[in-house]
Structure 1
Amino acid sequence: MKFKITFLFITLLSTISIAQTKTGTIDSDYIINLMPEAKVVIERSQSYGSRLDSLFSIKMQDYQTRVADFREKEKEMGELMKKTLVKELTALEQDIKRYQENGNKLMQLKQDELMRPLYKKLNTAIDEIAKAEGYTLILTIAGNQFAYVDDNYDITKKVMAKLGVKEPVIKE
């Protein structure tokens, strides 16, 4: 029985020592922002945002015109007419708020849709480098607060080279 326990213990220790991991880091946001495709994404999302803004402006202009018209003719209106118009204006105001909320959501969805190919391309490059160099774990630097990261394990520049992304030159 002691032999079996000793054998299992030795086997466990050897397995643990063999199964060491190699961890690397990457600044994926830095790479994404330097990719030439990122400029196209920004232009397309701004164009989409402009279309949403123009529709919002039309709705706001209509609302403001109706409010001004109501205020101008309010003294001449009867109580029933005032209540009806106030109800319509309130409904229109709520519609504008919903449109604005939906516009923000649509804008976020559009940006996610446009960024998806860039992240897919980046992940493919990360996978290739990680497999080629034997990394078992790659952590992103952005958003995480690491106390210390050895630059020897940062694959950001390797991924940039694989994707053909050039690092900007800092002029002093």
Structure 2
Amino acid sequence: MKKLSVLFAAVIMVVSVSMAKAQKLATVDLMGVLNAMPEKKKADTDIKAFLDVKQAEIKKKTDAAQAKFQQYQAEAPKKTADENTAREAEMKKLGDEIQQMQEKAQKDLQAKQDVAFGPIEKKLNDAIEKVAKANGYEFIMDANAGALVYKAGADATAAVKKELGIN
């Protein structure tokens, strides 16, 4: 019975090794490919410009609110309690407006990123799929992913870049 168990274990090992060898595995440096794509460079530039505009708008509103707050603080001793209460309510309203501006800017930025990077991601995924089929790869893993445990397979980065027409 013991010999049968050892024989069975040996057969399982041989089958496992042959199955593992039958699978073609490749890695690709996704960030390297993405950063080399001209479309991504343009999208990054557009998004940075968009973000700069939104941050400037928020800064302008924040600076105006800060100046008004300092003015109100300086004038507070000379004003009535009702006037100071009204000014506090006005400052709270300004703070709420600034917070809403920030939230809207964040949502707008996310929407702009989705629109800009969607076609780039699709193009990259299509190129990876085409390279995988052309070279018989069963798996292509991101070489930078923390989940990568084995990186001795072929590297498809050059083939994907060639497919995309970039260096």
TM class, shorter-chain normalised? 0.7 to 0.9
Q: How does 1:13-162 map to 2 (within 5 A)?
A: 20-150=22-152, 152-162=153-163
The one-letter amino acid of 1:153's match is: A
Once the two structures are TM-superposed, the CA of residue 62 in structure 1 deviates from its matched residue by: 2.3
Cα distance in structure 2, aligned partners of 1:38 and 1:52: 21
Computed over aligned residues only, the root mean square deviation of the Cα atoms, in angstroms, reads: 2.3
Aligned residues: 150
1:105-160 deviation line (CA, Å, top 9, x unaligned): 4323322321222211111111111111222222212232434301x422111101
Cα distance in structure 2, aligned partners of 1:106 and 1:153: 40
Moved over 4 A (4+): none
Does the 8 A contact of 2:24 with 2:137 survive in 1?
yes
Cα distance in structure 2, aligned partners of 1:160 and 1:37: 13
TM-score relative to the length of structure 2? 0.78
Cα distance in structure 2, aligned partners of 1:128 and 1:143: 21
Q: Where in structure 2 are there 5+ consecutive unaligned residues?
A: 1-14
Once the two structures are TM-superposed, the CA of residue 70 in structure 1 deviates from its matched residue by: 0.8
Cα distance in structure 1, aligned partners of 2:130 and 2:149: 27
In the other structure, the counterpart of 1:4 is none
The one-letter amino acid of 1:64's match is: Q
Q: Where in structure 1 are there 5+ consecutive unaligned residues?
A: 1-12, 167-172
Q: Secondary structure at the match of 2:140?
A: strand
User: Does the C-alpha gap of structure 1 residues 111 and 92 become closer, same or farther in structure 2, counting only changes over 3 Å?
Assistant: same
Cα distance in structure 1, aligned partners of 2:139 and 2:99: 45
The one-letter amino acid of 1:115's match is: F
Identity of aligned residues (%): 26
